[in-house]
Amino acid sequence: MTANEQNATPDLVIVGAGIFGLTIAQQAVEKLGVNVTIIDIRDHIGGNAYSYMDPETGAEIHKYGAHLFHTSNSRVWEYVNRFTKFTDYVHRVYATHDGEVFPLPINLGTINQFFRANYTPAQAKALIDEQAGELAGTDPANLNDQGISLIGRPLYEAFIKNYTAKQWQTDPSELPASIIKRLPVRFNYNNRYFKDTWEGLPADGYTAWLERMIDDPRITVKLETDFFDETQPLNKRALLEAGVPVVYTGPVDRYFDYDLGELKWRTVDFKEVRYDEGDHFGCAVMNFSDADVPYTRAIEFKNFNPERAAEQNPNKTVVWEEYSRFANRDDEPYYPINTDEDKALYAQYKAKAADEPNVVFGGRLGTYAYYDMDQVFNQALISYEKQVEPLLKK
């Protein structure tokens, strides 16, 4: 990462040093040779993908929760491999229910363990179809009914119902059915979490990867800089008046000073727990499916990088317990609520954004959407070609 300060008047200002903004910056410099300044209100680059090393345990901490790279997009895979090598990590999730650990997503191993059976794939499918038929002929009135109609009451109530209630802080019977379109059930013993062609973690960490993307003297990074603070020169009003092209990746409603109302988000809180042992859970992510455990899951960071065992403390480990709740304006927004009202409100903001001169809106906050990391890279590459480069060539 460069702290180069030579650009008094940049050709492009990017608001937000997350994946979307960094990709746009890298492409603009590589393709057109322009001078780019990135500003971010945080004290680090990388957005929610930022990570740092924990000195006590030797674990790489994902500051904003577990970030796992996976993709089936060959263009994205080729692009990211320019800046990092990937480990052979394969994500597998487990869930604790009623004092017992089960593999997720729900698969033949989960089903046979849960029902204390030895079903074949065909037998297991017939069982789930029978149980899911409990509400046959009815239109699911809420998430609870939708879950039962997808995988049957026993598995839904064991692994989905209470987990979802903790995620949303709302009983599933009061949530709309539209929140879940499908619940995957695998009728084999494959418990690999993702189905994508490529998967892994950056070999020397997320921050090192993202720093390489913008390691260019034509890119200036200004941290702890607020786009809306008119006491600093790269503020919204000054840039718009000067006609400097801007890529904005912050909350779209904040850009317009919430003049149409606030879009709603869920946020995540973390509680750190340290253990005097080398490995507490034996896996990277453990879900907790029961209502009597207040958090949704626990992340044990050392288990993302077993290849670093020699660099890690064999007698210490760190775990983050994850709690989900509705976000207030000052919280970190993680997941859009996406009610019909929110979608309608975003449509109005999107129309206003389309009329904003010299500004391109992007990223999950700028477009009120949840994306996996590979989707953010893909959106940024497309946005650069279709929106940013034409803007810079004007």
Domain 10-85+201-262+335-391 has CATH 3.40.50.970: no
Average confidence (pLDDT) over 163-175: 92
* pLDDT at 2 (0 to 100): 40
Please indicate whether residue 292 is annotated as part of the active site. no
Average confidence (pLDDT) over 294-301: 98
* 127, amino acid identity: L
Domain ranges of the chain: 10-85+201-262+335-391, 92-177
Domain 92-177 has CATH 2.60.40: no
* pLDDT at 285 (0 to 100): 98
* pLDDT at 7 (0 to 100): 45
Q: Which of 186, 199, 248, 253 is catalytic?
A: 186
* pLDDT at 232 (0 to 100): 96
Q: Which of 94, 297, 349, 374 is catalytic?
A: 297
Q: Which of 331, 342, 372, 389 is catalytic?
A: 372
pLDDT (tens digit per residue) in 215-251: 999 999 999 999 999 999 999 999 999 999 999 999 9
Please indicate whether residue 79 is annotated as part of the active site. no
* pLDDT at 367 (0 to 100): 97
pLDDT (tens digit per residue) in 123-163: 999 999 999 999 888 889 999 999 999 999 999 999 999 99
pLDDT (tens digit per residue) in 180-210: 888 889 999 999 999 999 999 999 999 999 9
pLDDT (tens digit per residue) in 266-296: 999 999 999 999 999 999 999 999 999 999 9
Please indicate whether residue 322 is annotated as part of the active site. yes
* pLDDT at 338 (0 to 100): 84
pLDDT (tens digit per residue) in 307-343: 999 999 999 999 999 999 999 999 999 999 988 899 9
* pLDDT at 6 (0 to 100): 43
Q: Which of 266, 346, 368, 384 is catalytic?
A: 266
Average pLDDT of the chain to the nearest whole number? 95
**pLDDT at residue 8 greater than cutoff 80:** no
Please indicate whether residue 372 is annotated as part of the active site. yes
Q: Which of 43, 98, 182, 330 is catalytic?
A: 182
Q: Which of 40, 54, 253, 322 is catalytic?
A: 322
